Amino acid sequence: MILDYIPIFLVIIVSIIFGAVVIFSSTLFGPQRPTKIKLMPYESGKNPVGTTHERISIKYYLVTMMFIIFDIEVVYVYPWAVEFKKLFGEHGIFAFIPMLIFLVVLELGFLYLYAKGGLKWD
Amino acid sequence: MPQNNYEYFLLMPQIIIAVGIVLSVLIEITTKKSEQILPWFSIAMFFGTAFYSVFNINQNFVLFSGMIEVGGKPAIFNFIFNIGAALVVLSSIDYLKKYGTYYGEYYILIQSSVLGMMVMSGAKDILMIFMGLELMSICFYVLAGINRKKLSANEASMKYFLLGAFATGFIVYGIALLYGATGTTSIQNLVENFVTYSSNIIFVLGFVFFLIGFSFKIAAVPFHMWVPDVYQGSATTVTSLMSTTGKAAAFSVLIIVLTAVFTFNAPNVFRPYFATISALSMLFGSIVAISQTNLKRMLAYSSISHAGYMAIGLAAGNMFSVAGIIFYLAAYAFMNIGAFTIISIVEGEDDSRTDFDSFSGLNDKSPVLAATMALFMFALAGIPPLAGFFGKYYVFIAAIQSKLTWLAILGVLSSVISVYFYIRVVVVMYFREASEDFKINISPYSLIAVVIAAFFILVFGILPDTLMNVILSALP
Amino acid sequence: MNLELILFILLASVAAVSSIVMITRKNAVISAVFLVLNFFALAGLYLLLNAQFIAVVQVIVYTGAIMVLFLFVLMLLNTESEHKLFVDKRAIKFFAILISAFVFVQLAYLIFFGKPSRTLTPDEVASVNAGTIQTIGQQLYTNYIIPFEVAGFLLLAATIGALVLAKKKFE
């Protein structure tokens, strides 16, 4: 049972190893001759002022919320895609129509978002 | 999956609204003048759905493998929701310009919330209740704060959202426990095995959580703290929608989940709970409302006490009390929408002119408004022969039938207290000199809404048996 | 010791350690990253229970969408004042420990001493299959078709509501 997931575990392990190798190989093989000036945050010589934990105006906040909404849409579509063959065999076209309605309603939301300029930087 | 294609026709009210939402969004996308088209489109849709529901009241079926019920009790609720929403839309047409939110989205959100209510009132599965509740609540959160430039509206939206989400948390936890105890989300199963389940502590606990969550939604004490600020801060028309149809939707769910008690005479395990919240709500709402100077806030407290009167019916738990609650909800919808519409006519810019002083001498400025406002206040106070009186009367009778005489006496007592602050509005309008000098621009559309509401209150008050017979025939 | 037990111990310890690291970090962004690790470990635990769908939802929705929202909120908020609220106020700390101790005792009681209140039929095949995506697909697109469509309208209303409330220049 659990052995079915070995490919997924392999992908995860390979991606972790790949990421680790890429990050650490540069510190391992690259030349390291640090000086005080090199380690400063800004190489222009400007001294940093204040904390890094400032409040940041987030332009893409709306995009994030939309991302969540369409992410949840994926959750609904995913079991349908897995089961589609069987559903189509049992119910014919009625396996297809509900998802069509669902997607039309949601893409209407996307069209609305686009028409109102919800994806613009303002 | 439907058993046959006929089920789609029976689901017509919901389908009309759903298709209407899709078309409204298309209108909003394609045209620049959506805010002029959408109100009329919405009103046509709401009236169509309301009358379709009423004419098909005898077509009582459970559709889509036990998911949704049409006809019967849901049809009456659909009538209340749709007529209420239509009147609110009618009163919003000119109000929105004054309020500074002349958007087409306002109407789309109202349509969506009505769809959510209709899903709730016809639910035959707990999942349906939850989906409908969320659809309704999310639209209300947005509608409460639709004017983002107003601090009070922002505050209302934020408070409503946080406390509403908190209440939803209770409801979801309750649903999880109910599912854990019964192994299914079907309400049919819950009704059939109610007596067996009542001995299971997990089931009772889950049910109580569920009821607590819905006590937030009906605004009963001690879950009322969001009500005054939200009702005062949101746009007046939005408040009239939230306080009437939203409350009706929450009560429809409570009636559905307690069907075993109402219809099959199962022992009402939750009677102490309902008796407590109703006694507290009635007295608290009526007493605190006395000291209010703002009319919207006063009506918010009165809304709390009306939730208490309706909860008497839940505590009584017999067939007649369900009919009483539904009658009360219908009457309350028209009384409250009428009163809030008049406030929205008198209201000036920036939330001004909603206190008692602005209503002083209203009779000199506009006799029609003063007369209808007096009518609504008398109806809310429960003075015969207006609809509000019979709502209370039926609920109290049901309580006495169930040997809850003390609760009925408390109800009468609190009605007597509430007469004071309702009549004060009338006194201020008729017997006091106008303290502020301003001219009221009476919007013709709002006036039509007021007249329709007044008409229904008079009809329900003079011929209460007509509506009562319809309701009783719709109940199984 | 079979493979599932080894995996369970591995994932459970990752989840426990990452949650402890999460609540002890001073920097909220680092806490959020450890929360992601915690969610991944939980997804693995769901897989061990054969709840594939919940595992997938955990990864797609929680580690994907909700965490992005968390990070955005962290950037919007002033974390200094939050620090003041939770670290400097003793009462809040006390109640937090009290409530978490209560939950811990409750869970420990249920796991070690509690009995299932309802006698479950020992139908292992059905209970194993209940969490699979196939079962959920079968139910969701046949019996639960109406809630599914309502979910579409819920998401549409949420889209419109988010735009109305959060768009900077809305006319």
Question: A112, A113, A116: best mutation site toward chain B, by most B Cβ within 10 Å?
Answer: A112
C23 lies in some domain: yes
B1 lies in some domain: no
Mean pLDDT of chain A: 85
Provide the residue type at B413 as one letter: L
Instruction: Record the tokens describing residue B77, joined without a space.
Output: 């609720």
Say what the ipTM of the complex is.
0.93
How many domains in chain B? 1
C131 lies in some domain: no
The whole-number pLDDT of residue C86 equals 63
Note down the domain range covering C9.
3-88
- Rounded CA-CA distance A77/A67 in Å is 15
Angle of CA points B227, B233, B237, to nearest 5°:
90
Select from B271, B21, A50 the least CA-distant residue to C159.
B21
Tell me whether C56 touches chain A (CB under 8 Å). yes
For B15, which residue in chain A has the nearest alpha carbon? A101
> Do C150 and B21 make contact, defined as CB atoms within 8 angstroms?
no
Instruction: Record the tokens describing residue B379, joined without a space.
Output: 């109806």
Report the range of poorest mean pLDDT among A27-31, B244-248, C128-132.
C128-132
Non-local CB neighbours of B471 within 8 Å, separated by 6+ positions: B76, B323, B326, B327
Select from B117, B103, B13 the least CA-distant residue to B57.
B13
B130 lies in some domain: yes
Q: Specify the pTM.
A: 0.92
B379 lies in some domain: yes
Residue C89 phi/psi, 5-degree rounding, is -95, 115
Is the Cβ–Cβ distance between B187 and B162 less than 8 Å?
A: no
Neighbours of chain A (3+ CB pairs under 8 A): B, C
Q: What is the DSSP letter of B198?
A: T
Cα atoms in the Cβ-side hemisphere of radius 13 Å centred on C3? 7
Mean pLDDT of chain C: 83
Question: pLDDT: is A58 or B283 the higher one?
Answer: B283
Roughly how many angstroms between the first and final C-alpha of chain C, as a whole number? 65
Query: In CATH, what number is assigned to the domain containing residue C30?
Result: 1.20.120.1200
The residue to which tokens 């920097």 are assigned: C27
Over the stretch C47-98, which tens digit does the pLDDT of each residue have? Answer: 888 888 899 899 888 888 888 888 888 777 766 666 666 666 778 888 888 9
The whole-number pLDDT of residue B358 equals 86
Question: A4, A75, A107: best mutation site toward chain C, by most C Cβ within 10 Å?
Answer: A75
The residue to which tokens 């209010």 are assigned: B292
> Do C149 and A101 make contact, defined as CB atoms within 8 angstroms?
yes
Instruction: Examine residue B385 and say whether the peptide bond preceding it is cis (omega within 30 degrees of 0).
Output: yes
The residue to which tokens 């919320």 are assigned: A65
Tell me whether A98 touches chain C (CB under 8 Å). yes
Closest-CA distance, A51 to chain B, in angstroms, reads 30
Report the largest interatomic distance among the alpha carbons of chain C, rounded to a whole angstrom.
65
- Rounded CA-CA distance B244/B334 in Å is 8
Note down the domain range covering B81.
6-474
C152 lies in some domain: no
Instruction: Record the tokens describing residue B427, joined without a space.
Output: 């006194």
Q: Which residues is B123 bridged to in the sheet?
A: B68
Tell me whether C153 touches chain A (CB under 8 Å). yes
Burial of B63 (0-12, 13-18, 19+ CB in 10 A): buried
Show residues of chain A in contact with B1, CB under 8 Å: 91, 94
Closest-CA distance, A53 to chain B, in angstroms, reads 25
The whole-number pLDDT of residue C114 equals 66
How many domains in chain C? 1
pLDDT at residue C123 is higher than 70? no
> C-alpha distances in angstroms, B348 versus B159, B345, B358, B451?
24, 8, 10, 21
> Do C156 and A108 make contact, defined as CB atoms within 8 angstroms?
yes
C45 lies in some domain: yes
- Rounded CA-CA distance B233/A82 in Å is 47
Q: Which residues is B69 bridged to in the sheet?
A: B62
B127 lies in some domain: yes
Q: What is the DSSP letter of B243?
A: I
- Rounded CA-CA distance B144/B229 in Å is 11
B85 lies in some domain: yes
Segments in chain B below pLDDT 70: 1-5
C117 lies in some domain: no
Q: Closest to C133 (Cβ–Cβ): which among A2, A79, A95?
A: A79
